[in-house]
Structure formats: C-alpha cells, structure tokens
Chain A
C-alpha cells in the first residue's frame, strides 16, 4: 500500500508539470470564458447556456485527460523499460497498477475541482448567485472519468496505446447508449437480443450518471438516486480495476 501511495504521489507531481495537462486545463477555462460573450440572449437563457457549456467543457476535457492519463501511465513505463527498476525494488505489479490509478484519480479530481470552482465563481460574477447545485453533476462526472481512465489503463496493460484510446471512446459511447440499446433489445430476438443483454450488463449506464441536464434545469434529484448511481459506479470500478490488475499480472514484461 505504501508503494502504491508513493507511485501515486510521484505521478501527481509529474502530471502537474506536464504541458499537456496544463494546456488542457487552460483550454477548458478559455472555453468557459468564451461562453460569457453570449450577451445577446435573455438573462434566463444566458444562464442556462453558460451552465450547460461549463458542465460540458468539464466533461469533454475531463474525458480527454482521463484517456491521455490512462494511456500514459502503464504502457510508456513498459516501453521505456523503466518499470523494471520498480518491479525489482520489489514493488508488486498490482501495487504499481493501483498506484498509477490512484495518481490518475487525484489528477482528475484536481482538474474537476479547479474547473468546477472556476465555473461556480464565474457564474457568481455573472448572476450574483452561488450555483453549488452544479456540484452533484460534477461529482458524478468525476466518477465517470474514473471509469473511463480505469478502462483505458486496463486495456493498455495488454494492448497498444491506440487500441486503449479507442477502447476508452467505445466505453463512453456504449455507456451513454444504454437506454437506446435497451429499447433496441425490446424489439430484438434470438442472438441479437442475447448480445444486447450481455452489452447491457457488461457496461455501466453512463447516461444515468450524467446529471448535467437535471442540475441546470433544477430538477429535483432524490438523494437515494445519487447513492444508487455512486454504488453502481464504484462496483463497476472495482471490476475494471481487478481485470486490469490481473491482466497486468499475467503480462510478460
């Protein structure tokens, strides 16, 4: 556990200094600031657009960070052979994997927090109202990003970086299509229905974790819903991390 913590802290320090991470964060903030120039709309519409834009920017840039970080953790260390120094320490493989994931989780958390706080402060400047109600949406977006990062990391333990990136996007797409696939399943038979069943069970419903629309439209979200969705995300995260650890454990270095 100590080894995992050290690897995580090291990774956080490295990532915070990396230009890619800083550029993505700056771009995200610039996009949000750009939205404040929609001054030709009615005040009510403008507020809605700014919140929608801000939350979507957090999601898109968060996803890009999750994928880049996920791809850039395990595979480059193996390619550069720097992993042998760690494994020889000895640092167990699963500790290395978990350390990298924890580091990724901290970086994504910092990014979501910074972007979220910036959005809330910017909205306060515009509307003179603290929009803390956006935080549950940002929180669940963070959980979604953790799932994407975990998938990318797990796939990167045995596949190429390109395939890992594709896997991340496919996971995202399938996760958001669950309700549509559910509708399709009702009209299917035989093998296609079975396949849709399997996909429905294998992939978490990421659309259910997407509260952006609801927080902006001020729809009441029951606390039990938040608990169910968080528990579901945590369960899937454990599954993905275990698969990643076992796959990395089996890999010939």
Chain B
C-alpha cells in the first residue's frame, strides 16, 4: 500500500507534470512544421472521402496519401474520365501530405497540359491558371525545394512560351545548391530567345564552371555565340521559329524581342 504522505506527494507530482504539459503542448504552435499539418481543415481532405478523413484523424496520413497516389496512377492509365477523377484524388493527396513533391508536380502538370487539352475551348485558359496556382501553392508549402519552381518555370517556358515570366523563376531555381546544372541551360535558352545574348553567354559560362569544364553543351553554346554574337539574321530566324512553335500550341505570334519587327498577322481560318 502507498503511505498517505507518499500518495499526496505522488498526486502533487502528477498535477505539476500536467500543468507543465499543457503549456508545452500549446508552445508547439510556434513551430511552422506543426502548424502546416495541424491546421489543415478536414474539408481539404473531404474530397478523398471517408478513407482520407479517417486517415487524417487516425494518424495514417502518409500511407493513405500513398494509396491514393497508386489509385490516381490507375486513373491516369485509364484515360478519358479517369483523367478527371485524378483531380480530386491529387488534391486530397497534397492535403494529406503537403510535402509530397511529385503529387504537386503531377497536379500542376495535369491541369495545365492534360485537362487543358481535354477541356472545352472556353475553359482552356482556366486550366492553365489552375496549373499555375497549384504549382504556386506547392511552392508555398515547400519553399526549400527547387523541383516545383522548375516545373512552374517550364510551364511558362514551354507551355506558354512566356520567357519573360520564366526567366525570374529559372533564376530562382539556379539559386538552389542541389539544382542540377541543366536548369542553368534552360535559363540560358530563355535569355537567347529574348535576344539577351550577353546574359545567355554568362549563364553558359557559369554552367561550364559548375561542371569544372566538363559540359559539352555549354562549351558548344559558348563557341556558337562567340561566332554569332552579332548575327541578327540568326536571331530573327530564332524568333520566326518561335512563332511557328507558338502557332502549333494555339498561341498568338509575338513581335520580335527588341520590338522592331511586329508580330506577323495571322490569316483568318
């Protein structure tokens, strides 16, 4: 039996520990990693149905996110209506696991490329915007990862052919230490297509230095621009090629980057 005095002491110890535990628990809110996952509203995951809600409450967020990821892969291969079913699934995955980079990447890409192509004409711009928004949301959740910046830059670079918007994002990607050197190649290409040849060459030289001289792509680009630095005819041919690519993507042609040559007039169909 516990003596009455010892029992009182034990009760006091328990109360002291409980009073210590409460503010410790409250202090967790000052940690960003705790706030990120704890404040996700249940409605964020409700699209995934009962499974996702039980997962969130039962502490099995990540494994459920993985199961839904496998399911979304199945929908992808189904095509057709499966592509549309992927959307709520991917949104639930990123709600359950906001640091699942691949899920954010696929979500943004899926909206801007696949759903855009499948959507009616009037909705197409909306799907590009959705793709951009999802990438930006993914970047807010994962600001220290370069992958989503790279995907967003690629969206502007390749999907929209908007190099002026892509350039600052590629620059941000290149500032990450773990970003591969090929990201600098993309930045250099953007500068080339906006006729900022000096900046392009500077980036190619940086890419060559990063690989300690073992970068045949950068080397050949530097050699090319050394010969064609003032070759306006070549720059114009780049611009004309760009407009052909834009027409192929259903984008309107643009004026030359220096503004001296207007955009070619599109023939009415």
A-side residues, CB < 8 A to B, are 42, 44-45, 48-49, 52-53, 55-56, 59, 92-94, 172-173, 176-180, 182-183, 201, 204-208, 210, 212-214, 216-217, 219-222, 225, 228-229, 231-232, 234-236, 238-239, 242-243, 245-246, 249
Contact = CB atoms under 8 A, between A and B. Distances in A.
B25 A242 contact: no
Contact of B24 (A172, A177, A231, A239): A231
Contacts of A172: 58-59
B25 A208 contact: yes
A201 B27 contact: no
Contact of B21 (A52, A93, A213, A235): A235
Nearest to B34: A208
6 nearest A-B pairs in the assembled complex, by CB-CB distance: A217-B99, A179-B38, A235-B21, A242-B14, A176-B59, A235-B17
A216 B102 CA distance: 13
A233 to B, nearest CB: 9
Contacts of A231: 20, 24
Contact of A59 (B18, B34, B59): B59
Given A59-B59, A208-B28, A214-B33, A238 B1 contact: no
Nearest to A182: B38
Nearest to B56: A180
B179 interface: no
A177 B13 contact: no
B59 A206 contact: yes
B21 A204 contact: yes
B10 interface: yes
Chain A: interface secondary structure? helix
Contacts, number: 125
Given A208-B34, A217-B99, A238-B14, A53 B63 contact: yes
Contact of A235 (B11, B20, B41, B61): B20
Nearest to B31: A225
A172 B62 CA distance: 17
B38 A207 contact: yes
Interface in B38-82: 38-42, 56-63, 65-66, 69
24 contacts: A45-B102, A52-B62, A52-B63, A52-B65, A56-B60, A56-B62, A59-B59, A93-B1, A172-B59, A179-B37, A180-B56, A201-B25, A210-B59, A214-B33, A217-B97, A219-B33, A220-B33, A222-B33, A225-B34, A232-B21, A234-B17, A236-B17, A238-B13, A239-B18
A214 B38 CA distance: 13
A59 B22 CA distance: 25
Interface size, B (range):
35 or more
A213 B31 CA distance: 16
Contacts of A232: 21, 24-25, 28
B199 interface: no
Given A45-B69, A210-B59, A232-B21, 9 more contacts: A93-B1, A93-B2, A177-B57, A219-B33, A220-B144, A221-B33, A229-B28, A235-B18, A246-B11
Contact of B2 (A92, A229, A234): A92
B21 A239 contact: yes
B156 interface: no
B28 A228 contact: yes
Contacts of B102: 42, 44-45, 48
A205 B99 contact: no
A228 B25 CA distance: 8
B53 to A, nearest CB: 9
A239 B34 contact: no
B63 A56 contact: yes
A164 B2 CA distance: 24
A219 B41 CA distance: 21
A217 B69 CA distance: 15
Given A235-B18, A236-B17, A207 B41 contact: no
B209 interface: no
A53 B221 CA distance: 46
B72 to A, nearest CB: 12
A228 B34 CA distance: 12
A123 B1 CA distance: 50
Nearest to B100: A217
Name which of A172, A201, A219 has the most chain B CB atoms within 10 A of its CB.
A219
Given A213-B97, A239-B21, A249 B1 contact: yes
B7 interface: yes
Interface in B211-225: none
Contacts of A208: 25, 28, 34, 38
